[in-house]
Structure 1
C-alpha cells in the first residue's frame, strides 16, 4: 500500500512518502526512507518493487554526481528528469524497472519544479503528483485544496490532510511518512509523521 506524493509551492517543492517496507502480508520495516537526496538541490522519491527502487535511484544518484564531477556544474532539474526518463526508456526494452518516480528540484533560473516519471518512462512536469494506492486520496485532496503560490505552512497543512485521508481510507494504511523539502537553501528532511506520536499532527 505504497504512497508517494508531492507538490510545488511558492519557491519550494515538497515530497512525502510512506516508510513501510512490505512483502505480501509481512511488514519488514516501518522506517524505510523512499526519498533520496540526489544532490544539493534535488530530491527523488520512488515507489515500486523494493529492489528496483533502491537499485535504480542509487544508479541515478551516482550518475548525477558523476556528471557534476566530470563537468564542474550540476545538472538542472529538467536535465536530471530527462536523464532519468532516458534510462527508464532504455531499460524498458531490455530489463525494465518496476519503479515510479517524483523528482523535485530547485534551480536559480527557473525556481522549483516537480517531474512525474512512471515505470514506462512517461515524463511530465507537474504542479502536484502522486503514485501508489494512496494517490487516489492524496490527488483528490490536492485537487480540492491545492493552489499555485502556496506557502510552506499551507503546503505542510495539505500534506497532513493527505496523510490523514490515506490513513482513514485505506484498508491497510502505512503508519509512518517522511516529508522532505527543496528550495533555494537546498534539499533536506522536513519532518516525520509517525502515527503513534502525531495524533493531531504536532507541527514540525
Structure 2
C-alpha cells in the first residue's frame, strides 16, 4: 500500500512518501526513507520492490554525482530525469526495475520542476502527481486544492490533507510519512508525520 505524491509550489517542489517497508503481509519497519537526495538541488521519491528501489536510486544518485565531478557542473533537473528514464528503458529490455518515481529539482535558470516516471520508462513533466494506491484519493484532492502559486505553509497544509485522506480511506494505510522539499536553498527534509513507532527488537536471552 505504498504512496508517493508531490507538487510544485511558488519556488519549490514538495515530495512526500510513506515510510513502510512491507513484505507480503508483514510490516518490517515504518522508518524507511524512500526519498533519495540526488544532489544539492534534486530529490527522487520512489515506490516499488524494496531491492529494486534501493539499488536503482543509489545507482542514479552515484551517476548524477559522477557527472558533476567529471564535468564541474551539475546536471539540470530535466537532464537528470532524462538520464534516469534512459537507464530505466535500457534495463526494461534486460532485467527490469519494478519502480515508479517522481523527480523534483530546482535550477537557477528555470526554477522548480517535477517529473513523473513509471516502471516502463514513461516520462512526463508535471505540476502535481501521485503514485501507489494512495493516488486514487490524492489526485482528486490535488485537482480541487492545488494551484501553482502555493506558499510553503499552504503546500504543507495540502500535504497534510493528502496524508489524512490516505490514512482514513485505505484498508491497510501506511502510518508514517516523510516530507522533503527542494528550492533555491537546496534539497532537505522538512518533517516526519508519525502515528506509530517501531518496537525495538527483544534481545535474545
- Shared topology, TM-score over 0.5? yes
Task: Give the structure 2 partner of residue 106 of structure 1.
Answer: 106
1:99-145 deviations in Å (ceiling 9; x for gaps): 00100000000000000000000000000011100011111110110
Residue 7 of structure 1 is matched in structure 2 by: 7
User: TM-score normalised to the size of structure 2?
Assistant: 0.95
- Between Structure 1 and Structure 2, whose CA radius of gyration is higher? 2
Per-residue deviation, 1:196: 4.6
Whole-angstrom distance in 2 between the partners of 1:196 and 1:35 = 20
Matches within 5 A, 1:1-204: 1-196=1-196
1:40 positional shift: 0.2
Counterparts of 2:30 and 2:196, CA distance in 1: 12
Quote the Cα distance in structure 2 between the aligned partners of 1:140 and 1:56: 30
Matched pairs, number: 197
Distance 2:113 2:139 in 1: 18
Q: Secondary structure at the match of 2:17?
A: strand
Structure 2 gap segments, 5+ residues each: 198-205
